[in-house]
Structure 1
Amino acid sequence: MSRIEVVAPNLKRRLSGVTSTIVQLVPVQARTLGIATLGPGLPDSLPKMRWWQVPALATRPKSGRKRIWHARRNTEMVAGLLLKSVLRMPLKLVFTSAAQRHHKPFTRWLIRRMDAVIATSARSGGFLQVPHTVVMHGVDLDAFYPPKGSDDGFSASGLPGKYAVGCFGRIRHQKGTDLFVDAMIELLPHYPEWTAVIAGRVTPEHKAFGDDLKARVAKAGLSQRIVFLGEVDDIKPWYRRISLYVAPSRNEGFGLTPLEAMASGTAVVASDAGAYAEMVDVGQTGAVAPAGDGAALREAIRPYLADPALAAAHGANAAADVKALFPLQREAEGIRRVYDHVWAER
């Protein structure tokens, strides 16, 4: 604990976008910073502190600086305030906000008590009422990269068709999976070389929603061309196998999947939910449609199905764009600058 200067709590057992951010980001931060995670649901490969070590936060690390408690959820802000204000531990509190909505009064109260606030996009920053720094998420370019071999081609999937369009993530109304399915039911009969691939978990509370989507596909006679993979062990090869990725969310916090697709050399059609519109260079790496507008989403997808060469060109542009603008290292450096500013304040 003497060398740990930053604690990244994860006070939620179920996998979420926040958890995924911690899992990807902390190993990069750990290259140049004493950092440890705290909480359940994290892989053993991450640097961790245990619950019995929490009392050690009462003493400063060897550097003499106050430790930073970097919260990403309300529960983590509350825990940080209790440690700092009630137990009088020498901590600085940093909060990252990805919310695309006005915060509730209690959340605003918590945020005002942070020593620094980070917004994951300009849009999320627009909902904050305190000074903040925008640091957009990055993507691990060692994990997500353009096709390299035969296993990265769509033919390796064993599915019919020459090209594929994909939609990955939890299957639910919020994610707009139904908008994607409806677009595919309309478009695929006109483009016989294409197959649609849907990957993601259906939680029990959304089972009826998922069953209805499969029934719609069956009724349209497209069960062989609109394929539900379920939750796959490793989604990364699928990003490389598809020629077009669709992110149809109705609302989103940040949303990493378009960046993962773009890093994999895949063109993207996204709604303007979350930070999607800040990732996609319209006409160069993909297209953007208004969130919740199924007809607009369908028409944004159509040109790519009609012209696979356009999808390939935009996919190549996307890979170059992400490499230049959204590497994970750049996110880590942006956060480190916030930490250094907090430590420099008297």
Structure 2
Amino acid sequence: MAQSLDEITVIAPHFKRRLSGVTSTVIQLIPEQRRQGLGILTLGPGLPAHLPKMRWAQLPGLWKSPSAATARVWHARRNNEMLVGLILRDVFRMPLKLLFTSAAQRHHSRYTRWLISKMDAVVATNAKSGSFLKVPHTVIRHGVDLELFHPSEKTDTTNPEDLRGRLLIGCFGRVRHQKGTDLFVRAMIELLPQHPEWTAVISGRISTEHSGFADQLKAVIASAGLTDRIRFLGEVDDIKPWYQRLTLYVAPSRNEGFGLTPLEAMASGTAVVASDAGAYAEMIIEGETGAVVPAGDYEKLRDAIAAFLQPQKAKEAGRKGRDYVVANFGLEREARALCDVYDSLIQQLMVATHE
């Protein structure tokens, strides 16, 4: 059943069917925004059924302002979402203010820069992403749901039977070169023979495009005789228990937009070794909650992992990581900061209307 637009002040389009980092952000963020009293709906495919949505047939309803404001905010996160927002605002003259969140850490194309220049406001997910923007912007870092991601008692009974008694080191995310899965596998092949109490687990989707890459990794693992100690889990239905089972999490990406997995791991009480891709360096206190190494630098990644294969050191870093995320990266902080931006945009239009 479609929800009424009368109390809705924010539309969050999502025009991609496949799971991505943006998808994960939206899935976590919108329920928190609703809990804080924001009237927000999503629009488009690729999101779980429990998220509040509007139907495409309701688009004409955006010509009418909501009951408590003179406009709505269209919060885009991709080029096609910005473009549709522009058409609705400038061609169909709907009362919308356009907001774009940028996570990319690269120079934008001319087309993207043009779209961004037409936005009413821009948010960057971290300082590094903001450095590539040519327009005024606000930095609002992503947060993590501390109720969903939290520590548990890491006893043997929490692990699947064939992994009981093992210390687990994990690497989660799509299995591909960009994510540095090969760097993780290479490090595990080199380090695990010296640390018989540890087992590595890899979880994430293997797309058809990257199946050859994954097959090569599995062949190398088999050649090293480590198939039973470097496990491919595939896509799991619920990743949260796996974060809790880990003692150490590794995020070896060569490039990222923002990257939520280190925050999810730290919120779960797990130490993290990460590259400096995305916003990873802004999440980790070097030597205390984990370590950060240059993206793509295998030797430094291997050595940083090796330093945290001391179980007590990793467990202490995990405890500190949880405290740090609670203090600095709670999802409610991100939701409140975005609400301030939404309110500012709507207020701008209300002032302009009455002048």
Question: TM-score scaled to structure 1, two decimals?
Answer: 0.97
Q: Distance in 2 between matches of 1:284 and 1:174?
A: 27
Q: Does residue 323 of structure 2 align to residue 315 of structure 1?
A: no
Give the secondary-structure state (helix, strand or coil) at the position aligned to 2:83.
Answer: helix
User: Does structure 1 retain, via aligned residues, the 8 Å contact 2:154–2:245?
Assistant: no
Q: Which of 200, 204, 215 is the aligned partner of 2:204?
A: 200
Shift of 1:246: 0.1
1:161–1:192 CA contact under 8 A, matched in 2: no
Report deviation, 1:36. Answer: 0.6
Q: Over residues 3-62 of structure 1, what are the superposed CA-to-partner deviations in whole Å (9 max), with x where a residue is unaligned?
A: 111000001111111111111111111121111110011122111110000000111111
AA partner of residue 102 (structure 1)? H
RMSD across aligned C-alpha pairs, in angstroms?
A: 1.2
CA distance in 1, matches of 2:337, 2:161: 38
Deviation at 1:147, TM superposition (A): 1.1
Report which stretch shifted further, 285-294 or 161-170: 161-170
- Contact 1:161/1:194, CA 8 A, preserved across alignment: no
The one-character-per-residue Cα deviations of 1:238-263 (angstroms, maximum 9, x if unpaired) are: 10101000000000011000000000
Deviation, 1:64, is 3.0
For the residue of structure 2 that corresponds to 1:117, the secondary structure is: strand
CA contact 1:160–1:224 (8 Å) conserved in 2: no
Matched, 1:335 2:338: yes
Give the equivalent residue in structure 2 for 1:127.
132
SS at match of 2:177: coil
1:277 is paired with a residue whose SS is: helix
Q: Say whether the 8 Å CA contact 2:9–2:69 is kept in structure 1.
A: no
The aligned residue for residue 299 of structure 2 is 295
One of 54, 61, 64 as aligned partner of 2:59:
54
> Post-superposition shift, 1:286?
0.3
Q: Which residue of 2 aligns with 1:180?
A: 184
Q: Which residue of 1 aligns with 2:162?
A: 158
Q: Which stretch has the larger CA shift, 259-268 or 63-72?
A: 63-72
Partner of 1:264: 268
Aligned-residue sequence identity (percent) comes to 63
Moved more, 104-113 or 14-23: 14-23
* 1:68–1:94 contact (8 Å) kept in structure 2: yes
- Is it true that 1:171 corresponds to 2:175 in the alignment? yes
**What is the deviation of 1:114?**
0.5
Call closer, same or farther: CA 1:151–1:49 in 2, change over 3 Å.
Answer: farther
Within the candidate set 87, 90, 108, 1:85 is matched to 90
1:87-108 deviation line (CA, Å, top 9, x unaligned):
1111000000000101001100
Q: Which residues of 2 match residues 10-89 of structure 1 at below 5 A?
A: 10-31=14-35, 32-89=37-94
Amino acid at match of 2:343: D
Partner of 1:110: 115
For residues 157 and 347 of structure 2, what CA distance do their matches in structure 1 show?
A: 47
One-letter code aligned to 1:124: S
Counterpart AA for 2:65: R
Measured after TM superposition, the shift of residue 160 of structure 1 is 6.2
Post-superposition shift, 1:159? Answer: 1.8
Alignment-derived partner of residue 229 in structure 1: 233
Alpha-carbon distance in 2 for matches of 1:259, 1:293: 22
> Secondary structure of the residue that 2:243 maps to in structure 1?
helix
Q: Which residue of 2 aligns with 1:344?
A: 347
Structure 1, unmatched stretches of 5+, are none
Contact kept? 1:304, 1:311, Cα under 8 Å:
yes
Matches within 5 A, 1:250-289: 250-289=254-293
CA distance in 1, matches of 2:274, 2:223: 26
Change (3 A) 1:276 1:199: same
8 Å contact kept, 1:160–1:225? no
The answer to whether the Cα contact below 8 Å between 1:152 and 1:240 also exists between their aligned partners in 2 is: no
Please say if residues 247 and 257 of structure 1, whose CA atoms lie closer than 8 Å, have aligned partners that are also in contact.
Answer: yes
Supply the distance in 2 between the matched residues of 1:161 and 1:151 (Cα, whole angstroms): 6
What is the aligned residue count? 344
Q: CA deviation at 1:65?
A: 2.2
Which whole-Å CA distance do the structure 1 matches of 2:156 and 2:71 have between them? 49
**Which blocks of at least 5 consecutive residues in structure 2 are unaligned?**
none
**C-alpha distance in 2 between matches for 1:185 and 1:275:** 28
Report how far residue 63 of structure 1 moved: 1.2
Deviation string 1:167-219 (CA, Å, 9 cap, x unpaired) is 00110000000000000000011111111111111000000000000000000
SS in 1 for 2:86: helix
